[in-house]
Amino acid sequence: MSTPPVVIELVVGDVVGTREIALDRAALVRYAGASGDFNPIHWDESFATEVGLPGVIAHGMLTMGSVIGVVVDWAGDPGAVVEYQARFTRPVPVPVRGNAVVEVAATIGAIDAEAGTVRVDLTVTHEGAKVLGRAQAVVRL
């Protein structure tokens, strides 16, 4: 006897996940080593401020890569995320000690029943300001 398929009832506007992501300087070091991105704005406080930044900032791709986790966890399979995009709108300053906290809310933005996909819109903020714009993932159901 086979199990019946799971039917997910989704409506545009449904929040499918939220998360807080803490980024500290150690995370920046690990990401720099993994990615090869050793730009001094991610580790040198004086350089970062000299170029007009509020201090050392998180790598944009570290932020983008971290926040998609809320969608992957909801979908249950990283392979279900078939498209992902975002615009970097504001840097995430990371303090010398402690964490920069990025808040993420994932909301159903569109449903394509014919294609069997949904668009998940991500609202990504740090200290109340949006740090990613038009952050959207297409998920195959």
Write out pLDDT tens, residues 19-69: 999 999 999 999 999 999 999 999 999 999 999 999 999 999 999 999 999
Tokens of 69: 């986790």
Q: Which domains does the chain have, with CATH numbers?
A: 15-23+59-140 (3.10.129.10)
- pTM listed for this prediction: 0.90
Among positive and negative, which fits the CA dihedral 35, 39, 43, 49? negative
What pLDDT, on the 0 to 100 scale, is given for residue 1? 56
Query: Phi and psi for 31 in degrees, rounded to 5?
Result: -65, -40
Q: What is the DSSP string of 16-54?
A: EEEEEEEE-HHHHHHHHHHH----GGGT-HHHHHHTT-S
Write out pLDDT tens, residues 88-126: 999 999 999 999 999 999 999 999 999 999 999 999 999
Do the bridges between strand 117-126 and strand 129-140 make them parallel or antiparallel, or are there none, so unpaired? antiparallel
What pLDDT, on the 0 to 100 scale, is given for residue 2? 52
